[in-house]
Amino acid sequence: MKQGSGVMAAAVKSLLGALSRVATPSYGAAVTAAAAARMSQGWAPLVTSVRHRYHWQKMEKGPLLRNYGEKEPLHNKGLLPHMEHHKRLPIPLFRPKNNWAEKRALFGQNDYIDILGPGNLHPTKTAYSVPAWLRGFKGNEYQMLLRKKKIQH
């Protein structure tokens, strides 16, 4: 058995030697020479380094420290209000909105006036809160400024 493996190793050496002579770059020759040296020693398993083989070994070291030295400006734990300088932050008082204020009560009153109305009104003419030079305008900024100048002067 030993003689057969010796013959095989000699054959591999001669093949690798021939390959190293064919390989033009010196790096290729060095790689093939290293491979030949490994083959002459016999089979060796590939060894990789592992920090922790088991999870419990990793847990023995304690929790992983992240962002060490940084101080988080936001407090993201617990319910509001948060604590700042050992004082509670003030909660604003609840003040309900007046739903019947003029701007809320009349919001959208003329949206469908052109469809449901008598037919002589257009939505651009009912836009009371928009300046006259901007009502129904479509164009670029230069055209808008010309229109504003013409209407206001």
Q: Is residue 31 part of a domain?
A: yes
Give the pLDDT score at 1.
47
Q: Is residue 84 part of a domain?
A: no
Composition of the chain by helix, strand, coil, percent to 5: 40, 5, 55
* Segment 69-115, tens digit of pLDDT: 777 777 676 665 556 677 776 778 899 999 999 989 988 887 787 77
d(CA 66, CA 76): 16
Give the pLDDT score at 18.
63
Give the pLDDT score at 147.
93
d(CA 29, CA 23): 6
Q: Is residue 49 part of a domain?
A: no
Tell me, what DSSP letter sits at residue 117? Answer: S
Nearest one of 151, 146, 106, 101 to 128, comparing CA atoms: 106
Q: Domain span at residue 24?
A: 2-41
* Segment 104-152, tens digit of pLDDT: 998 888 778 777 878 788 777 777 788 988 988 999 999 999 999 998 8
The total domain count for the chain is 2
* Segment 19-58, tens digit of pLDDT: 555 545 555 555 566 666 666 666 777 777 777 778 888 8
Alpha helices in 42-136 (DSSP H): 55-60, 102-105, 113-116
What is the pTM assigned to this prediction?
Answer: 0.29
pLDDT at 2 over 60: no
